[in-house]
Chain A
Amino acid sequence: MRDLRIAAVADIHLGEDVRGHYRKRLEGIEHRADVLLVGGDLTRHGTLEEGRVVAGELRDLPVPVIAVLGNHDYHSDRDREIISVLRDAGIVVLDDEAAVLDLDGVRLGVAGGKGFGGGFAGKCASEFGEPETKAFVRHTRDIAERWRSALKSIEADHRIVLSHYSPVKDTLMGEPPEIYPFLGSYLLAEAADEQGADLVVHGHAHAGTEKGVTPGGIRVRNVALPVIKHAYSVYCLGEDC
């Protein structure tokens, strides 16, 4: 079985003011990668107009594109419409679900969605007290549960989890520790570790670091544009990698 080359980026924060800039950087991607994963914060304000710019930049690429939304993409309450616009442009958008692509005979399964926060084991919020606190924690717990089911449903040669929020602290190093609970949750890592995956890709932490690992040993990569400083990173999966 041949190796798979996964291009990944997050936090591209597109809008009318930068239309066309990112697309230029994607030229020749078919020579470098088999698929492009985009880990949320596609827009800045989450408006439908910005969603249309994103669709324009990512449509008709020579490789398939799989994306999730980020917190910015929810800001204007147009998240459902943004998802539709992206899907109409041929982009696979994961909203706590899975997709399996056949990439020249190698099946790649990708599960995920936006994710959410709550913090990391031993220093995190619990489903206790005021309804607002319980709702916050329950949101992440529900997402993790949906990711478990999504991962379980995948029959493929390789499995990747695509998220906006981080599943581990490792890739947040550089961010103030006080805001870690707003940057990710260990519940996301727990779901991936339980069901198994080859890689978790996320964004959100602009001041974080690229490389980390889940408690169960799955590699984690923070591909936020300010972190990787390249149009995208490429990760190679396979027996020869």
Chain B
Amino acid sequence: METPQYVAARVQRALAEDERTNELGIRVDVRGEQVYLRGQVSCSERRHQIENVARETAPGMRVHNEITLVEMLEPGEEEHL
């Protein structure tokens, strides 16, 4: 079995460099045969693309997509500096 750290590094690099994703802020953890993706993106399409790229880069492993969508609430109270 490939060393988990190298799998995680390869997936993270693919997410940053693959033009379908270009996502730098996704945390990738590998435990045994499981890949966990965590972070935040703007829309569900981007969330799915990240999962696709991760699956292609770590074939045969189970990918858990725990990425959430960025909240964008109405502007809140102003801060007085």
Contact = CB atoms under 8 A, between A and B. Distances in A.
Interface of A: 5, 7, 13, 17-18, 21-22, 25, 29, 32, 44-45, 72, 75, 198-199, 206-207, 219, 225-226, 229-237, 241
B68 to A, nearest CB: 9
Interface residues of B, number: 21
Contacts of B40: 206, 226
Given A18-B42, A18-B43, A226-B70, A236 B81 contact: yes
B28 to A, nearest CB: 12
A22 B43 CA distance: 12
B10 to A, nearest CB: 17
Contacts of A235: 78-81
Contact of B22 (A22, A45, A199, A232): A45
B79 A236 contact: yes
A234 B78 CA distance: 5
B51 to A, nearest CB: 15
Contacts, number: 69
A199 B75 contact: no
Contacts of B59: none
The majority secondary structure among interface residues of chain B is loop
B25 interface: yes
Contacts of A230: 72-76
A231 B72 contact: yes
Contacts of A13: 42
A30 to B, nearest CB: 12
Given A18-B42, A18-B43, A207-B25, A198 B75 contact: no
B80 A236 contact: yes
Contacts of A7: 75
A44 B75 contact: no
B5 to A, nearest CB: 13
Given A5-B78, A206-B39, 17 more contacts: A7-B75, A22-B72, A25-B74, A44-B22, A199-B81, A207-B25, A226-B40, A229-B72, A229-B73, A230-B73, A230-B75, A234-B75, A235-B79, A235-B81, A236-B79, A236-B81, A237-B81
